[in-house]
Structures are given as C-alpha cells and as structure tokens.
Structure 1
Amino acid sequence: MKIAIAADQGRVAQHFGKCREYAVFDVVDGRAGNLSYIPNPGHQPGFLPKYLKGLDVDCIIAGGMGQKALNLFAENNIQAIVGISGEVKQVVEDYVNGKLVPGASLCTHPDGRHHNCDGHC
C-alpha cells in the first residue's frame, strides 16, 4: 500500500492541494518504508487525484480538503483521511500503528467558504 501525506516543511499541510510537497511511503507487513518527498506539481481542479493515482497512491492524508476533492479521490479509488495535523514522521508512525485519528477537514470554515484555497481545497 502506498500512502501520500500533503506536507509543508515536515508537517501535515492544512490544504492538500496547496502543499509544497507530498511525503510518500509504502506500508508493507505493517511497516513504513521508502519515505520520499515529491514536489507538488501544481493545483488544478481535478488534476491531483489522477496524478497521485498515477504514482500508485492508495491513500492521501491531509489537514483538509473540500467535498469535490473527496469525491474525486473516491472516484480514483484513493482513500482520503482528513483532519490530521502534526509532524509527518509522527503521522507515518501513527498510521502504521493504527493510531491515526481522522477529524473534521481543517479546510472547512464556519461560513461555508474556503478562504485562501480558491474554493476547492
């Protein structure tokens, strides 16, 4: 299984599409391996789910994303886990140990708008 984490300077990014890079790792026999960082090729509506699928990603972890992005990941058979924050290395450890606790998307705002994420984070 291949996992991608939206990342900014070693921390989980709040907006999956606006992150600087993706921390990508494999999970084999309950262990994480082959951690590498891939630069974000740019945010265009509908592009990133297909791009990550092309990298054989099975799961995306991020602070937040909008419903449109969640639907696009589902259409590409990629599980989306949102509401995550913290250091990437800790999130990797929590994921493989079954301790990662998803929450509400950090990209959702009380007024229903997505500030600073062009409405489609």
Structure 2
Amino acid sequence: MKIAIARDGNYVSEHFGHCEGFEIAEVEDKNILKREFLPNPGHKPGFLPKYLSEKNVNVIIAGGMGATAQELFTRNNIEVIVGARGELDAIIKDYVDGNLKSTNAVCREHQHEGHCHG
C-alpha cells in the first residue's frame, strides 16, 4: 500500500493542492518499507488525483481538500483522509495503526493557503 501525505516541511499541509510536495510511504503489514518525497508538480484542477493514481497511491492524507478533488480521488480508487494535523511520522503511524480517521471536512474551492480548516 502507498500512502501519500500532502506536506509542508515535516508537517501535514493544510491544503493538499498548495503543499510543497507529497511524502509517499510504502507500507506492508504495518511496516514502512520505503519513503520518498515527490515535489508538487503544480496545482492544476484535476491533475493531482490522476498524477498520484499513476504513482500507485492508495491513500491521500491532507489537512484540507476541496470537494472536487475529494471526488476525483475517490473516482481513482484513492481513499481520502482530511482533517489530519501534525508531524509526518506521527500521521503515518496513526494511519498504519488504524487510529487516523477523516473528518470529511470540505474546503471551499480555491481558498488561499492558511484559510482551509479541516
């Protein structure tokens, strides 16, 4: 399984589309096999769900995300978890342990960075 976390520094980004990039964690049997950073290729409507799907991502975790992006991830069979806050290592552990749940909050489209609260 591949988990993508929208990140800014070592923390979950408030809005996935405006993050600096994605921390990709490959997990098997609750063990992290590999981690890598993918820079954000740009915030073009509809692009990131397809891009991450092509990278074989199964789950996207972010602080916040618009309704259209959530729908596109779901259409690409990628689980969406929004409302996440905190350090990357803790978020990955919480997800792997089954303790990270989505708030299902939706950001209004095209909000400015820092104004999206999940």
TM over 0.5: yes
Q: Which segments of 5 or more consecutive residues in structure 1 lack a partner in the other structure?
A: none
1:116 pairs with one of 90, 112, 115: 112
The residue that corresponds to 1:12 in the other structure is 12
Unpaired runs of 5+ residues, structure 2, are 114-118
How far apart, in 2, do the equivalents of 1:79 and 1:20 lie? Answer: 21
| Poorly superposed stretches of 4+, deviation over 2 Å | 112-115
Q: CA deviation at 1:32?
A: 1.9
TM-score (norm. length: structure 2): 0.89
Query: Number of paired residues?
Result: 113
Structure 1 window deviating more from structure 2 (32-41 vs 51-60): it is 32-41
Helix, strand or coil at the partner of 1:26: strand
The residue type equivalent to 1:96 in the other structure is V
Residue 42 (structure 1) aligns with: 42
SS of 1:25's equivalent?
strand
TM-score (norm 1): 0.86
1 CA distance for matches of 2:112 and 2:2?
29
Q: State the alpha-carbon separation in 2 of the partners of residues 99 and 33 from structure 1.
A: 20
